[in-house]
Amino acid sequence: MTALYEMTAELVELNNLMDSFEDTDTGGDDGSMALAIRDTLEGMEMAFNDKAVAIVKFAQALEGDTTAIDAEIKRLQERKKRINNRREQLRDYLRHNMEAAGHKKIECPLFTITLAKGRDQVQIADEAALPDEYVRVKTEIKPDKVAIGKALKDGATVPGAELVTGPTSLRVK
């Protein structure tokens, strides 16, 4: 089966041949040659269209695959979260019971379980009461593309920005 890019090259070549044939001194009087080129072009256009339809169908099948993969990823992430929560619950359960029983260390052939002293942590009771020297300010500078685009479309000049046409897009309805 011929690849789409090969079909495109052949179509361009045939269109150029047709254009050059019609521009010759005969003015395109040779009807049989023009008819043959037109017939070939029509056949190739149909094959090209069939190939394009097949490509879109394949792309839609891939889209279905990605939807299924996204659902599976979500399911697995939820399962991972449940497993991690269960693991933390078990560790907290063991820690609580070791503390209550007064056990600081449990040894077995595979590993040792030890209750370690907790680390110092800062707990903020009221953020607004903190002095400025203990507060970080985060500033984000980012162009407002929507406002810039509106201004450019309205005819304004915005230094450092210009309105350009993006690449063509493919729409399948």
Distance CA 124, CA 113 (A): 32
What would the mean pLDDT of 6-31 be, rounded to a whole number?
71
Two tokens, residue 99: 């503390």
pLDDT the model gives residue 25: 52
Report which of residues 18 and 80 the model is more confident about. Answer: 80
| Residue 41: alpha-carbon gap to chain centroid | 38
Q: What is the pTM of this model?
A: 0.54
Mean pLDDT of the chain: 87
Report which of residues 95 and 167 the model is more confident about. Answer: 95
Report which of residues 94 and 46 the model is more confident about. Answer: 94
What would the mean pLDDT of 94-105 be, rounded to a whole number?
94
Q: Yes or no: say if 153 and 162 are a contact pair by the CB < 8 Å rule.
A: no
**What are the pLDDT digits (tens) for 22-59?**
666 554 456 677 777 778 888 888 888 888 888 898 89
Domain boundaries, the chain: 4-136
Q: Yes or no: say if 106 and 94 are a contact pair by the CB < 8 Å rule.
A: no
CB hemisphere CA count around 165 (13 angstroms)? 2
Interaxial angle between packed helices 4-22 and 31-101, expressed in degrees from 0 to 180 and rounded to the nearest 10: 150
**What are the pLDDT digits (tens) for 118-136?**
888 899 999 999 999 999 9
The DSSP result for 129-156, as a single string, is: GS-GGG----------HHHHHHHHHTT-
Q: Yes or no: say if 21 and 33 are a contact pair by the CB < 8 Å rule.
A: yes
**Is 106 strand, coil or helix?**
strand
What would the mean pLDDT of 110-118 be, rounded to a whole number?
91
